[in-house]
Amino acid sequence: MAADAPAAVDAPARAIQRSTRQLALVLAAVQDSGPTHPTADAIWTTVRRVLPRISRGTVYRNLQRLAADGRIAIAHVGGRTVRWDPTLAPHDHFVCERCGRVDDLGSELPAASVAAAERSGHRVRAHATVLYGRCASCRTIA
Amino acid sequence: MAADAPAAVDAPARAIQRSTRQLALVLAAVQDSGPTHPTADAIWTTVRRVLPRISRGTVYRNLQRLAADGRIAIAHVGGRTVRWDPTLAPHDHFVCERCGRVDDLGSELPAASVAAAERSGHRVRAHATVLYGRCASCRTIA
DNA sequence: CTCGGTGCAAAGGGTTTGCATACAT
DNA sequence: ATGTATGCAAACCCTTTGCACCGAG
């Protein structure tokens, strides 16, 4: 997804893992989230409609695990709140600075910057490009 | 500068502003930070060597103001901590996932993604590209 | 003299973690 | 039976804020 700092981009296929109702529901919540790029809290709210006693901690732990397993992707989109993305293929993001909406874009490899980084001796594992601005619905407002 | 979510990219030249020792020292700390892309706390530590009683709050407030005035830039580089950048010209970043080091790169306009966003009716104001991987010193380790 | 900036300390918001218990295997 | 995953609550980390005092203009 060309988006994340630590976290995994490829699926290291974790060790044994118990299949719990909580894990399944967290995964489903991300996969069914459409283009909303939900926050952990949004996912918690969604899952709680089915499993009212699930804790925030469990949601966070399961999101981390799913990302480590390469089953969902992390989207660091600026700001302090991490967003979660069901789309595993690399892609860029557009963020509306007014309403917070996050849109998926295609993936564009920053070839020149990657080359520059490698020229400095660095090994590049992933890249993330985020565009900031006003979305179609917000561009006329304020 | 191809890096920041909210924040300003152009310098709206703020209203009157008192020149305090604190403000000057915070600005100097960022400008003299070399390629380290310091965190607010690192800047606080630096300034405190000269002004031991300066508070974190003042550092944060001054960093925000300097950014709003376009005198320094924000670098959202993934992760929870904001980093500050004396380089105002747009440029991409490389982040080492092992040691946290942040390197400046050139600026590469994601033309195709910008076009895609505009095709969707969005107005793009800024863009940020971050590369993740192992820096030259860390690529052999672990 | 004024009122914007500062220091201090407390509050905030998102995320992580320690611990006893519940449950998948 | 075994030990991982859960729920709960407290801890953490970074950042923001309220308030009384200080000091730049």
The string of pLDDT tens digits covering residues B66-113 is: 999 999 999 989 889 999 999 999 999 999 988 888 999 999 999 999
Position of tokens 């010193």?
A: B137
Average pLDDT over residues A31-47: 96
Which among B97, B122, B136 has CB closest to A6?
A: B97
Per DSSP, the residues of B85-112 read: ES--S---EEEETTT--EEE------HH
CA–CA min distance A102, chain B (Å)? 11
Do B133 and A124 lie within an 8 Å CB cutoff?
A: yes
**DSSP state string for chain B:** ----SSS-SS----S-----HHHHHHHHHHHT-TT---BHHHHHHHHHTT-TT--HHHHHHHHHHHHHTTSSEEE--SSS--EEES--S---EEEETTT--EEE------HHHHHHHHHTT-EEEEEEEEEEEE-TTTTT--
At A83-119, the pLDDT tens digits run 999 999 999 999 998 888 899 999 999 999 999 999 9
| Best to test chain B binding among A131, A134, A139 (most B CBs inside 10 Å) | A131
Query: Which residues touch A13 (CB under 8 Å, ≥6 apart)?
Result: A69, A70
Q: pLDDT tens digits for B23-68?
A: 999 999 999 999 999 999 999 999 999 999 999 999 999 999 999 9
Q: How confident is the model at residue B3, as a pLDDT?
A: 36
Closest-CA distance, B100 to chain A, in angstroms, reads: 10
**Which of B42, B80, B14 lies closest to A78 in space, CA to CA?**
B80
With beta carbons less than 8 A apart as the criterion, state whether A124 and A118 touch. Answer: yes
Mutate to test the interface with B, among A105, A107, A119 (most CBs of B within 10 A): A105
Query: Would you call B117 and A128 a contact, using CB atoms and an 8 Å cutoff?
Result: no
Q: How confident is the model at residue A26 (pLDDT cuts 50, 70, 90)?
A: very high
Q: Do B127 and A127 touch (CB under 8 A)?
A: no
Q: Which of residues 1-30 of B touch A (CB under 8 A)?
A: 4-6
Residues in B touching A79 (Cβ below 8 Å): 5-6, 76
Nearest residue of A to residue B140 by CA position? A123
Say yes or no for a CB contact (<8 Å) between A134 and B122. Answer: yes
Mean pLDDT, residues A10-28? 81
Q: DSSP E strands: which ranges in A1-142?
A: 73-75, 83-85, 93-96, 102-104, 123-134
pLDDT surpassing 90 at residue A130: yes
Distance from CA of A91 to the nearest CA of B (A): 9
On the CB side of B7, CA atoms within 13 Å amount to: 29
User: Which tokens go with B18?
Assistant: 């008192």
Give the separation between CA B22 and CA B48, rounded to whole angstroms.
Answer: 10
Residues A93 and B88 sit within 8 Å (Cβ to Cβ): no
Kindly report the bases of strand D lying within 7 A of a protein C-beta atom. 4-10, 13-18, 24-25
